[in-house]
Structure 1
């Protein structure tokens, strides 16, 4: 049975959007992975990227925009999206739940950094069809996960913060079944805040 905190993620981030933005920090520990992602995007100029769970847009979306990426960001929190719209008015920002995402558009790249891992196991399994539907042939997907199958409960602003992960083998299998080949994968990368990262290309 999924931990009850899984159903409170959207409300938690909406309620504490300003706290999250303040605590997130603007240092870009993810830069090396973002550069890997950008380097293999299929379009050399004005590549299109969908940032899934974009938060308040800093620092990841900001960095991608600075690299001349045509960025669209989605987040389930209206407050987060309002902040993005204020900071980066020339980009597209949408309030959306990734689990029901259907933009009728394919992108050169998708990124779900520290967002996808808030879904429960079954919702994560279903997401690979969503990823595939929104990634063009030759496009790139990057996401973070946990290091092994299980659930983990953190704390944020005094409330329980849910995370879950499938196993490494299952992620590889589901990527493959949905048209993705793994390009790079590191478990708890010490150079990137011990994030577990997946980089894959759509066939």
Structure 2
């Protein structure tokens, strides 16, 4: 499925307008974002990995006085972030190559990490560790079990992958994070499998 994985960025680039409309402004993630914010200091710095168009997740974090740095490989998505929130930092970059040489109070990778193949996902936990300040929170979504799946978006194949849940837990531990909360297929949040961990 390597070829499908390589197409993910292009799909979001080509369909940025449609994705913005389809995603909409409904914030089902609010309870989880509030749990994430509760672990952060006032006016925290937050790194949003795979930030998309900045709405509604980054928008909510901005409203909660977060100082945002967003990264996405689709320049069309980053352009929308820059238009919406010009006072924050938005970078066009492959998440696998992020090396900002600074640390953040929080890191979010919502519905982004799972577009990477398994080995690339494993490497991202080093990236989390490299960018996490002492006590930082990290929150991300995964699949409910190990495997690869190819769905569709606007008629194009859209790749997803997941590691085993025990492996995610081990990777967090090995990179200095303790799991604070973890729910598999949360029925209150679109059946997302969600991880919230904190740097020890």
TM-score by length of 1: 0.97
Per-residue deviation, residues 130-189 of structure 1 (Å, max 9, x unmatched): 010000110000000000000111110100000000001100011101111100000000
Select the residue among 132, 137, 141 that pairs with 1:144: 141
Matches within 5 A, 1:192-203: 192-203=189-200
Moved over 6 A (4+): none
- Partner residue of 1:31? 30
Matches within 5 A, 1:17-96: 17-41=16-40, 43=41, 45-96=42-93
| Structure 2 Cα separation of the partners of residues 138 and 35 of structure 1 | 16
| Structure 1 Cα separation of the partners of residues 144 and 2 of structure 2 | 19
| Structure 2 Cα separation of the partners of residues 58 and 106 of structure 1 | 23
Per-residue deviation, residues 97-136 of structure 1 (Å, max 9, x unmatched): 1101000110000000000100000000111000100001
Per-residue deviation, residues 29-50 of structure 1 (Å, max 9, x unmatched): 0000000000011x2x210001
Does residue 99 of the first structure (1) align with residue 96 of the second (2)? Answer: yes
Does residue 173 of the first structure (1) align with residue 167 of the second (2)? Answer: no
Alignment root-mean-square deviation, CA:
0.7
SS in 2 for 1:172: helix
Does residue 126 of the first structure (1) align with residue 119 of the second (2)? Answer: no
Per-residue deviation, residues 12-62 of structure 1 (Å, max 9, x unmatched): 111111111111111000000000000011x2x210001111101100000
Per-residue deviation, residues 37-93 of structure 1 (Å, max 9, x unmatched): 00011x2x2100011111011000000000011111111011111111011111111
SS in 1 for 2:7: helix
| Structure 1 Cα separation of the partners of residues 123 and 67 of structure 2 | 26
Count of residues in Structure 1 that have an aligned counterpart in Structure 2: 200
Name structure 1 gaps, 5 residues minimum: none
TM-score by length of 2: 0.98
State the shift of 1:3 in Å.
4.2
Name structure 2 gaps, 5 residues minimum: none
SS in 2 for 1:183: strand
- Partner residue of 1:190? 187
